[in-house]
Amino acid sequence: MVMWVFGYGSLVWNPGFYYDEKVLGFIKGYKRVFDLACIDHRGTPEHPARTCTLEKDEEAICWGTAFCVRGGPEEERLAMEYLERRECEYDLKTCVDFYKEDDPLKPAVTGVMVFTSTPDKISNKYYLGPAPLEDMARQIATANGPCGNNRDYLFLLEKAMHDIGHEEDYVIELANEVRKVLAESSTKKVSPVKESRASRVANKSKSNVPTAHQILAHQPEAVATTI
């Protein structure tokens, strides 16, 4: 038996299971969106992360990586058990055609499995739905979970798409908006120190005792960092 799985989120850079072959390509009729909640990896039930799912769009294509498991029933079972634990927020498994760049008209593989989600907030508790870019960025910038923070998930996806030669405007735009949120947050944190410094410098002649702002002046200010 042969099992093919299409990865379009963290599976692109971190599959985490044994596979025999990895192929770069795309699927048709779907676009990548950050509309799915993650409450056990990069978020919590109180502050869910936003992670990728697929939304149907007849005009769209979605680049990613297809993984093939050929080892037999046991290897396929192990891979599926791992994927179902990892992708537990996805309530659907969809079969799609997978295309390679050198032949975009003829499927390279048919019947490729991809984890997707029902786009309905009532029947699917993990579906967040769309939101304004600024709101999504604030959520992604601040969500954290046992496996890391939400922003790194986005930044790593951005890098992975760059590395495979298929950057995505939507991912880049969202990542840049998250960086903007982080930069604004960093500015707010350091601004009280700057105000205190200005106030104390004005009274420098009143005391020869080094003040806290004079000590802090020799320390690097906090800046936002990304991966």
Q: In whole angstroms, what is the distance from residue 195 CA to residue 190 CA?
A: 9
Do 158 and 117 form a contact (C-beta atoms < 8 A)?
Answer: no
Question: Is 158 assigned a catalytic role?
Answer: no
Do 119 and 55 form a contact (C-beta atoms < 8 A)?
Answer: yes
| List 87, 89, 158, 177, catalytic entry | 87
Give catalytic residues, as residue numbers. 87
